[in-house]
């Protein structure tokens, strides 16, 4: 994207679980940064001309046969480099120091003593004061590379940090990006501002300016369409484009009949307030008839995905003369497909408008592809989106169809809608909605015996799923207070016809997933 500030830091990914965290911390310090796989070419690094490079951690040992490495010439470009954990060991190995091979890992908190409170440790206290840092490593430094000195140690790690005597090269054995490292922010800020000479100027205002200019340049006088779901990503995408080239954009909102109670009406009302040109398509019956008799989750997803493309394509052709398709792709999706680990294996096929650009020969516009979710939310607020919409929980493209186990019918959809509305209402009124990642109801296609008044009932079961998560990659079930759960259960059983039992899902991801299908 057009980086109007011009400053940028690269994070080279060696496969660490915390690579994304490094990038987030750098951006929190208001310096723009991007993640690249470790094997980025030197030409590309030169072309980007970053102000600094951070080498991430990773699971390998520098002695592994296939150990990921960069060219030693990276250290000849005159760019400041900070190696974290594996990044530090690799620096040592490449610059002819010695890494000691270890067969057990040091994992967890350690006390760091600083021997040289300057540069990356500027403002911190010298030994004997100690700081908590987070370690996660096997190998460690046995002999420093030529011209490097040790600048910090811990009880178990004699070289816990190092620096070059003259060049701006640093290494830390601990992880400054994790919150358990109490001086993590200081170390990264010192590297960015004191060593790399960056200014803390990256914020959502500069993003907005850059993105608006970029959209104008790329789109020219072309026409765009955007698939709007009412979720924060697609709505921000549409709003941004609207701001840049308003009259050239038409947003298409397809109601697939699998939305929550009153969702289409609420979303449309919001969008109207936001002054967007929205083309509404009520395609509920089409989707429902395609789903008739289908029980397999993957088949349901495929049918919904394909039908969506079909409806969308018809509407796009009706609008006519379209050149671009706007999508709310976020940075984690981009990294996932380019990172060291490669695309992760498909556990569930997630539906999006994939395939459409090729069929219709549309060019993709993805203005959010450099942002993390929390950054998108900040942009959303800046663009005047109402809080209710900004902090809505994620909702899957296939909607309630993957929360009704087994066949999706109009009757089941109605039962689930009512139960789900109660869950959301209680989560919101109790103040829990904003504290969790997602909260929803799932309808199970099994019936159990109950008693209501004096009568025997034989009705369905609803499961409640509420999870805490940072990025949906992992999740844990939320420990909701039992009286809140009791309230949810009582109201569902009393108010929703066809349900006589409520369960709470206490599985974490992995091994379960957030959605049930």
Query: Which residues are known catalytic residues?
Result: 85, 175, 177
> Which listed range, 1-9, 390-398, 422-430, 452-460, lies at the site for ligand XMP (CB under 6 A)?
390-398
Q: Does 230 bind ligand XMP (CB under 6 A)?
A: no
> Which listed range, 154-162, 189-197, 426-434, 506-514, lies at the site for ligand XMP (CB under 6 A)?
506-514
Q: How far apart are CA 177 and CA 175, in angstroms?
A: 5
Q: Does 491 bind ligand XMP (CB under 6 A)?
A: no
Q: How far apart are CA 365 and CA 177, in angstroms?
A: 31
Q: How far is the CB of 307 from ligand XMP (least distance, A)?
A: 13
Which of 479, 363, 498, 507 has its CA nearest to residue 419?
A: 498
Q: Which of 144, 397, 441, 499 binds ligand XMP (CB under 6 A)?
A: 397
> Which listed range, 88-96, 101-109, 445-453, 508-516, lies at the site for ligand XMP (CB under 6 A)?
508-516
Site string for ligand XMP, 5-34 (x = CB under 6 A): ------------------------------
Q: Does 184 bind ligand XMP (CB under 6 A)?
A: no
Q: Which of 18, 256, 438, 478 binds ligand XMP (CB under 6 A)?
A: 438
The residue among 340 and 516 lying less far from ligand XMP, judged by its C-beta, is 516
Q: Is the dihedral of CA 344, 345, 346, 347 positive or negative?
A: negative
- Mark 68-94 as b/e (b = at least 16 C-beta within 10 Å): bebeeebbeeebbbbbbbbbbbbbbbb
The residue among 351 and 501 lying less far from ligand XMP, judged by its C-beta, is 351
How far CA 29 is from CA of 50, 199, 364, in Å, comes to 16, 9, 30
The secondary structure element, H or E, covering residue 503 is: strand 499-504
How far CA 97 is from CA of 64, 66, 79, 149, 171, in Å, comes to 17, 20, 20, 11, 13
Q: Does 396 bind ligand XMP (CB under 6 A)?
A: yes
Token representation of residue 217: 């340049």
The residue among 257 and 397 lying less far from ligand XMP, judged by its C-beta, is 397
Q: How far apart are CA 103 and CA 90, in angstroms?
A: 17
Q: How far apart are CA 257 and CA 31, in angstroms?
A: 43
Token representation of residue 373: 């979710």
The residues in 245-264 that bind ligand XMP, with binding defined as CB under 6 A, are none
Number of residues engaging ligand XMP in binding (CB under 6 A): 14
Q: Please state the φ and ψ torsions of residue 435, each to the nearest 5 degrees.
A: -90, -15
Q: Does 509 bind ligand XMP (CB under 6 A)?
A: yes
Residue 194: strand, helix, or coil: helix
Q: Does 514 bind ligand XMP (CB under 6 A)?
A: yes
**CB 500 within 8 Å of CB 448:** yes
Q: How far apart are CA 361 and CA 324, in angstroms?
A: 9
Q: Which of 117, 158, 332, 394 binds ligand XMP (CB under 6 A)?
A: 394
**CB 120 within 8 Å of CB 83:** no
Residues 6+ apart with CB under 8 A from 181: 132, 133, 134, 174, 175, 187
Q: Does 351 bind ligand XMP (CB under 6 A)?
A: yes
The residue among 362 and 439 lying less far from ligand XMP, judged by its C-beta, is 439
The residue among 17 and 132 lying less far from ligand XMP, judged by its C-beta, is 17
Q: How far is the CB of 276 from ligand XMP (least distance, A)?
A: 20
Query: What is the DSSP secondary structure assignment for residue 76, as one 8-state letter?
Result: G
Q: Which of 30, 194, 348, 447 binds ligand XMP (CB under 6 A)?
A: 348
Residues 6+ apart with CB under 8 A from 370: 1, 34, 207, 331, 334
The residue among 94 and 442 lying less far from ligand XMP, judged by its C-beta, is 442
> Which listed range, 82-90, 258-266, 389-397, 423-431, lies at the site for ligand XMP (CB under 6 A)?
389-397
Q: How far is the CB of 302 from ligand XMP (least distance, A)?
A: 11
Q: How far is the CB of 181 from ligand XMP (least distance, A)?
A: 28
Site string for ligand XMP, 279-318 (x = CB under 6 A): ----------------------x-----------------
Q: How far is the CB of 152 from ligand XMP (least distance, A)?
A: 39
> Which listed range, 99-107, 114-122, 132-140, 396-404, lies at the site for ligand XMP (CB under 6 A)?
396-404
Q: Within 13 Å of residue 491, how many CA atoms lie on the same side as its CB?
A: 17
Q: How far is the CB of 301 from ligand XMP (least distance, A)?
A: 6
Q: Does 398 bind ligand XMP (CB under 6 A)?
A: yes
**CB 514 within 8 Å of CB 469:** yes
Positions touching ligand XMP (CB under 6 A) are: 301, 348, 350-351, 394, 396-398, 438, 472, 509, 513-515
């Amino acid at each position: 994207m057009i980086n109007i500030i011009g400053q940028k830091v690269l994070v080279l990914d060696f496969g660490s679980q915390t690579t994304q965290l490094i990038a987030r911390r750098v951006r929190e310090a208001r310096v723009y940064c991007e993640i690249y796989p470790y094997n980025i070419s030197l030409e590309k690094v030169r072309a980007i001309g970053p102000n600094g490079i951070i080498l991430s951690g990773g699971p390998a040992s520098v002695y592994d046969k296939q150990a990921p490495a960069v060219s030693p010439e990276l250290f000849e470009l005159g760019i400041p480099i900070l190696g974290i954990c594996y990044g530090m060991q690799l620096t040592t190995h490449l610059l002819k120091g010695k890494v000691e091979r270890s067969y057990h890992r040091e994992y967890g908190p350690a006390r760091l003593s600083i021997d040289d409170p300057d540069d990356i440790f500027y403002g911190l206290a010298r030994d004997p004061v100690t700081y908590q840092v987070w370690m996660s490593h096997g190998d460690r430094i046995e002999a420093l590379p030529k011209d490097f000195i040790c600048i910090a140690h811990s009880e178990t790690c004699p070289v816990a940090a190092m620096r070059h005597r003259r060049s701006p090269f640093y290494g830390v054995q601990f992880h400054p990006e994790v919150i358990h490292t109490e001086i993590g922010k200081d170390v990264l800020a010192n590297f960015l501002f004191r060593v790399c000479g960056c200014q803390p100027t990256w914020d959502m205002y500069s993003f907005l300016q850059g993105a608006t200019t970029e959209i104008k340049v790329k789109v020219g006088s072309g026409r765009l369409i955007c698939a709007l779901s009412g979720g924060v990503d697609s709505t921000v995408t549409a709003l941004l484009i609207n701001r840049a080239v308003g009259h050239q954009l038409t947003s298409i909102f397809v109601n697939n009949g699998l939305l929550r109670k009153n969702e289409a009406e609420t979303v449309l009302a919001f969008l109207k307030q936001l002054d967007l040109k929205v083309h509404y398509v009520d395609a509920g019956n089409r989707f429902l008839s395609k789903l008739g008799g289908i029980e397999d989750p993957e088949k349901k997803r495929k049918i919904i995905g394909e039908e969506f493309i079909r409806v969308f394509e018809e509407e796009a052709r009706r609008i006519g003369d379209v050149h671009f398709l706007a999508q709310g792709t976020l940075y984690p999706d981009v990294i996932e497909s380019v990172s060291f680990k490669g695309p992760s294996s498909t556990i569930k096929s997630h539906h999006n408008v994939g395939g459409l650009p090729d069929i219709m020969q549309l060019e993709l516009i993805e203005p959010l592809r450099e942002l993390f979710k929390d950054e998108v939310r900040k942009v959303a607020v800046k663009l005047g989106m109402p809080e209710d919409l900004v902090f809505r929980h994620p909702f899957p493209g296939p909607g309630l169809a993957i929360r009704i186990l087994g066949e999706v019918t109009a009757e089941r959809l109605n039962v689930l809608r009512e139960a789900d509305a109660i869950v959301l209402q209680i989560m919101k009124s109790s103040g829990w909605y904003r504290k969790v990642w997602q909260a929803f109801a799932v309808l199970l296609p099994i019936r159990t015996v109950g008693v209501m008044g004096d009568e025997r009932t034989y009705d369905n079961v609803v499961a409640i799923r509420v999870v805490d998560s940072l990025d949906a990659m992992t999740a844990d079930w939320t420990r909701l207070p039992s009286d809140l759960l009791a309230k949810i259960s009582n109201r569902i059983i009393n108010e929703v016809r066809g349900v006589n039992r409520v369960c709470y899902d206490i599985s974490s991801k992995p091994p379960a997933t957030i959605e049930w299908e």
